Structure 1
C-alpha cells in the first residue's frame, strides 16, 4: 500500500480512455477550482447545474460563485432528492429544463449531487441533442468513489434498478472531500460500503488497511482522502480496460445483484440506501461463495465482520420492515434478480469471491442453489 496522502494534497487520477480521457480531481476545497478548470477545458461554454434540494442548500451557491468568477454563465435545475427522481418523470423534467436553458452541444451539464443526480443528469446529457458533455461534482462518498466515475448513467424502471440508461463519460470529475462534512452518518456509512468493495474484490492489502484505519477515514483528513483516491484509482483502472462492461468491469458489481433486488423490494426508498443494499449484497455474495466451496467460512465472516463494525447492515433481517412482502420471500427476490443487467438468456451471473481481495465472474449459476441459499438466510 502507498502511504496515506497528506490532507492538504490535491490528487489527480486520470481515467485513460484515449481521446475521451478525463481527470478525477480529489482534495479538500477543490470545488473552488471548478470554474477555472471548465474555462480551460471548454472555453466559451455555458453550463446548467442539475442538483437536488438538499445539496442546493449547501453547495449550489459556492458552485455558481466558482463559475461566475471564471465568467461562465449558468442555469440551475433543482430536483427532489432520492431515488424517486430517477424516473421517467424525473428525466423529462431535467431534459425539458435543459432545453429551456438553451444548453447546446458545445455547452456543459454539471451534475452537482450524489449518485441519483449524477445518473439522472448524465443520462439527460447523453440524450440531449444526441449528446452533450457533462461534469460530475459528486457530493456523497458513494458518488465520489463509484457512480461519478466510469460513465454509467440512467434511471430506474418500476421493474428494476438502472434498467434504462447509457454509457456517457464525463469530461471532468471534481471530488471535493470537504462536501462530505455535510453528510449524515448514515449516508457516509452507505458510501463506505463501496470503498470496502474495492478491497474485497481486488485489493486485500487495501481491505486490511481499512480494517485498521476505517475510524480515521470516517473522521476525515488524510485517511479519508487516501481511501477515496485508492478507490478511484481502482475503478479508473478497470474502466480503462473495459469501458462498456464486456469483461472484468462486471467485477465492480460485487454485491449488486443481491443489493439491487433488495432495493427494488423496498421500493427504492430510504428504508434501504444503495450502499446499504450493497453491504448486505457483499455479505450474501461472500457467504454464497463459501456455500459453493470457493472461499472459507472464515473469509466470508471477515467481510461481514468489518462491514458490521462500521455500522452497516449485513443481513436481510437488518432491513427496516423486513417482514413486509417481497423481502421475506425467496421467490420474489429471485424474480427481481432475474431483471439484473448481467442476466444472459435467463442465466444468472454473479460476482463471487475466490478470496478476500480476489473476485470472479461466475456465469450460469444454478437458480435453485441461489433460491435455497436465500431461503436459508431468510430463516437465519
Structure 2
C-alpha cells in the first residue's frame, strides 16, 4: 500500500542528554517550590519589618537585617515602614452656616513597626499592611470622614479665613489620627494646601471685601488727616522747643564759658603766686650760696693774706726768700758773668762768632 501523503513530515529526534537536562531542571524547580515552604533566608531592608510565620501562626517580628528560619510551613512577610503619601480632594463640604467649600488634604501615613501592634493587627489588616493601594483607599475614606466632621462643625469664616485654616488642619489631623490608630497606622504631616469656594460665594466675598476696603479706606483717610494735623502741630511745637532749647543752650554755654575763664584766671594767679614763691626761694638760695662762697674765699685766701702781711712787715725776710729762690734756680752747669751796672759785656767766642743775646740797658 503506497503512502497517500506526498510530503511526509520528517521526525525530529533530540539527544537523550538534552531530554534528561530538561527533566532535571523541571524537577529542581518542583523540589525548590516544595522546599520553600520549609525554609527561608532573606534580607530585611531599613524601611521594612518582617513578620515571621510558622504553620500559620505569627512567631515573631524581625527588624532590618538578615533573617532565616527552618521548619514546617515557615514564611516571612515583609511590611514597608516608609511613608505612603495620600492626597484627598472633596469639593462639596458644608459648613455649619450652610456654605459650600472644597478642600484638598495631604498627609503621610506610616505602618507600624512595634512588634505588639503588628502582631495584634496583622491578621485583620494584612492587606493594608502589605499593599499600598489598599492603604491609600482606606486612608482616603478616613480623610473624607475627617474633613466632613471638621468642616461641618465650623462656620465659613472660621474654616477658611486667617488662623481658621490652621485650626481646621489641626482638627483634621486629630480626626485622622483617631481613625487610623485602631489599625496601627500613624498619620503625620497633615496639610490643607487648597481651599476652594463656589463662584457665587466668591462674588459675595469679593463684594464684602470691597465694602470693607472702602470702609477701611475712609477710616484711614480720616485717621491720616488727623495724623497729619497732629504731625503739623508736633512739628511746630518741636520747632519752638528747638528754639527754646537753642537759647537755653547758648545761655548755658555763656555761663560755662565765664566759669572756665574764671577758672583759667584763678589758675594763672596760682601759677604767678607759685612763681613768686619760687623766685623768693631762689633768691634766698642765691644769697646763702654767695655767703658760703664768700666764707670759702676767706678761708682759701687766709694763708695768702697772712703771708702778704708777714712779707710787708718783714722785708728782710722777703729778700732772704728771693735769694733762696735764686739760689735754688741755679744749676751746677750754669755760667754767670757779673758786670757793672750800665755796661755791656764783650763775649769772645771762637770761629768768628759774635754775641747774639741782648742784655737790658
Quickly name the TM-score band, shorter chain normalised.
Answer: under 0.3
Q: TM-score, normalised to structure 1's length?
A: 0.17
Higher helix share: 2
- Between structure 1 and structure 2, the one with the greater Rg is 2
